[in-house]
C-alpha cells in the first residue's frame, strides 16, 4: 500500500483514482457506494444543529 493509493470511502476497497466515481472529493468503488455516501451526508446535514449567523462569541 503506497502513500497515494485511493480507497473507497464506503467499504475501503482499493480503487483507480482515474476511473473511480467521485463525490465531495472522495473516491468510491461503485456508483452505488457514491450515492449511499451522498445520502448519508445529506442526512447528517439535516440533523446538524443550525448555527446562528452574526459571528462573534456571544
Domain that includes residue 30, residue range: 6-46
Phi/psi for 22 (5° steps) reads -130, 145
Residue 47, SS3 per DSSP = helix
Domain count, the chain: 1
Residue 46, SS3 per DSSP = helix
| 29, three cell numbers | 468503488
Instruction: Examine residue 51 and state whether it is found in any structural domain, yes or no.
Output: no
Q: What is the 3-state secondary structure (H, E, C) of 2-27?
A: CCCCEECCCCCCEECCCCCCEECCEE
Q: What is the pLDDT of residues 2-54, one digit of tens each?
A: 667 899 999 999 999 999 999 999 999 999 999 999 999 999 989 877 766 66
User: What is the pTM (predicted TM-score) of this model?
Assistant: 0.71
Instruction: Examine residue 29 and state whether it is found in any structural domain, yes or no.
Output: yes
Amino acid at each position: 500500500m503506497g502513500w497515494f493509493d485511493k480507497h473507497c470511502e464506503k467499504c475501503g476497497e482499493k480503487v483507480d483514482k482515474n476511473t473511480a466515481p467521485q463525490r465531495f472529493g472522495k473516491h468510491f468503488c461503485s456508483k452505488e457506494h457514491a450515492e449511499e455516501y451522498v445520502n448519508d451526508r445529506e442526512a447528517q446535514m439535516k440533523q446538524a444543529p443550525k448555527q446562528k449567523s452574526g459571528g462573534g462569541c456571544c
